[in-house]
Amino acid sequence: MLSAIINRRSIRKYKSVDVPRYMIEEILQSGILAPSSKNRQPWKFIVVTGDAKKDMLAAMEKGLIRERELPFLPESAQYLGGAEYTLKIMEQAPVVIFIVNSLGLNIYSSLKPEERIYEICNAQSIGAAIENMALTASELGLGSLWICDTYFAYKELSDWLNAEGELFAAMTVGYADENPYTRPRKRLDDIVEWRDCGTKILD
């Protein structure tokens, strides 16, 4: 698995080759195996392929057009161009998986403190599931892209998905048609703070 972590890339160009169903199922199964807070397993996966992508892409595009005129995320307007590029990536990829927080509250809801904590815990759980899925795709020789630009078309995609819960993210999956450069990661010394509690840590 370490090699999958090292070799994983965010892929934005895909070959026009279908992904076998068993590979998609293996990716989804790895997501299901992720740890989750209180074992709530707050995920639902909606796999979009083939002709079904047309209506999904139309919903995403409708949301992006609406976002320019009546923004849901006005302070993120500078990222809208990136979301439009994401739409093209979703169109090119043979598989788009939507990840829904099946226990989540609508994004417009006012949250009580406990509900806010539940949402944070569920978000961590779903993030672990998506990471498992990305690493499994890499192990299978596939590329993937973890997408959050769906929030620019939150209402339109949520209406199209018609799934109980909160739209959380999407992931494109397919055979990579690029080998992108990965920016260097931050050094441990720059981001880790060691606090000595009297426990000897061996080098």
Q: 141-156, pLDDT tens digit by residue?
A: 999 999 999 999 999 9
* In-domain check, residue 156: yes
* In-domain check, residue 144: yes
195 CB-near residues (< 8 Å, 6+ apart):
none
The H-or-E segment that residue 89 falls in is helix 80-92
* In-domain check, residue 178: yes
Higher per-residue pLDDT: 108 or 91: 91
Q: What is the DSSP string of 99-113?
A: EEETTPPPTTSPPPH
* pLDDT > 80? residue 12: yes
Please count the structural domains in the chain.
1
pTM of the model: 0.90
pLDDT band for position 158 (cuts 50, 70, 90)? very high
CATH number of the domain bearing residue 11: 3.40.109.10
What is the average pLDDT across 179-202? 82
The one-letter amino acid code at 132 reads N
Q: Which range marks the domain in which residue 50 is found?
A: 2-191
Listed residue (72, 34, 95, 69) closest to 150, CA to CA: 72
Distance separating alpha carbons of residues 96 and 93, to the nearest angstrom? 7
Provide the pLDDT for residue 3: 84
* In-domain check, residue 107: yes
Is residue 34 within 8 A of residue 124, CB to CB? The reply is no
Residues of the chain with pLDDT > 90, as a percent, come to 77
* pLDDT > 90? residue 66: yes
Lowest-confidence pick of 98-112, 113-127, 148-162: 98-112
* In-domain check, residue 197: no
Provide the pLDDT for residue 110: 83
Instruction: Kindly report the average pLDDT of the chain as a whole number.
Output: 93
Is residue 170 within 8 A of residue 158, CB to CB? The reply is no
15 CB-near residues (< 8 Å, 6+ apart):
174, 175, 176, 177
* In-domain check, residue 199: no
The H-or-E segment that residue 169 falls in is strand 166-174
* In-domain check, residue 203: no
Distance separating alpha carbons of residues 137 and 158, to the nearest angstrom? 25
* In-domain check, residue 131: yes
Tokens at 190, concatenated: 């720059």
